[in-house]
Amino acid sequence: MSYRGARGLIYSIINGKFPYLLLGVLLGVIVFEGLHILFLLFVLPRFGLECDKITVKFFSFKRVNGRWQKGDQPYTPFVRYTVTEKGSTDVTASHTHFIICRLIAKAVLSAIVTILSLPAWSAALSDAPPDELSFNPDTDWAIFVVFFCIISWSAVIGDVIALISHAGSPKDTLGGYVQKIKTAVKNGADITSMNLPPLNELEFPDEPSAVDTLAYLYYYSVSLIMRGDEQKLSEPMHKMTDMLRSEDFLANCINSYGLLIYYYSWLETDEEYARKFYDKAGTALATDTGAGSKRALAYYSYAVLHDVNKARYYLDKARRIAYETENRLEPGLINELDEILKSEGA
């Protein structure tokens, strides 16, 4: 573009064309994110990858037993998602596979759009008449296409950087370890066979966040419960208690609250702590879609509230969810309380 053309374009944008420039940016983002969603839903399955959760602005959906259900994720300005690889328990390999597929798809799309939009580039970079401040279809329509290309190729560059970074030797983190455990369990691995060590035996270069620490303590405690090793359970449960008892409710630690309520209602009877955590998380547990949340409420209803009918109500819900999601932890804990309720005629 010539100096005169650049001066004319800048002048016209300042004096009235900025709205069209902004519209081009917005349309480019909307179209690009729309194609991103289509890629997640329809292209990934052909490569053995599956989108499990997707959040678009205020709308969140998650896949449960092969079906999409409304989720409860918070607002996000862009598309957010989680992806797993069928039959794989290696989250690192799955993520690398996903980045490569996404990179190829974005590169092909960007190349096609760029070639088809060469006339648009020529029109957008032509000499802009400074005396025309209204919409000029001969040049201003091209702004949308140009910015779509820019956004698309920026995303390609971002994936190249992510792939290089991921292929290097990133430092291990507790969060990454937790994600591996979560992915393995979701893909059918038996958590008791993972031989998860106590938290104090793990070493990572960086100090883990409170959320990652709570998540690991949750999975470690679950493994102890499933192994029937309740003698070691008090240490991680008391650690979780110390971390959460003085905090405001943390929505992303809902599993930890449920486990604490179950623990203090049933295994280490302490009604004060059971009620304390129920007051913080009871409402969230009641609306949560996880089997563990309903099972925790069932034990709390029976052992603390002494409400057999409410305990049966939550227990039946927990059983149905556990069956639908093939949850391995819940059947034993559900059956334990179920036998007690049956003996009481509930």
**Would you list the domain boundaries of the chain?**
3-167, 182-244, 246-346
Mean pLDDT, rounded, of the chain: 79
Digit-coded pLDDT (tens) for 226-245:
888 888 999 999 999 999 99
Q: Which residue has the higher pLDDT, 148 or 7?
A: 148
pLDDT of residue 240: 96
pLDDT of residue 191: 84
pLDDT of residue 194: 81
In the chain, what percentage of residues exceed pLDDT 70? 74
Q: Which residue has the higher pLDDT, 4 or 299?
A: 299
Average pLDDT over residues 5-22: 54
pLDDT of residue 100: 84
Lowest mean pLDDT across 17-21, 224-228, 304-308: 17-21
pLDDT confidence of 29, banded at 50, 70, 90? confident
SS (H, E, C) the chain: CCHHHHHHHHHHHHHHHHHHHHHHHHHHHHHHHHHHHHHHHHHHHHHCEEEEEEEEECEEEEEECCEEEECCCCCEEEEEEEEEECCCCCHHHHHHHHHHHHHHHHHHHHHHHHHHCHHHHHHHCCCCCCCCCCCCCCCCHHHHHHHHHHHHHHHHHHHHHHHHHHHCCCCCCHHHHHHHHHHHHHCCCCHHHHCCCCHHHCCCCCCCCHHHHHHHHHHHHHHHHHHCCHHHCHHHHHHHHHHHCCCCCCHHHHHHHHHHHHHHHHHCCCHHHHHHHHHHHHHHHHHCCCHHHHHHHHHHHHHCCCCHHHHHHHHHHHHHHHHHHCCCCHHHHHHHHHHHHHHCCC
Lowest mean pLDDT across 41-50, 210-219, 246-255, 273-282: 41-50
pLDDT confidence of 36, banded at 50, 70, 90? confident
pLDDT confidence of 54, banded at 50, 70, 90? confident
Digit-coded pLDDT (tens) for 105-163:
888 888 887 887 777 666 555 555 544 444 455 555 566 677 777 778 888 898 888 77
Q: Which residue has the higher pLDDT, 173 or 314?
A: 314
Average pLDDT over residues 304-315: 95
Task: Evaluate if residue 281 carries a pLDDT over 90.
Answer: yes
pTM for this prediction = 0.57
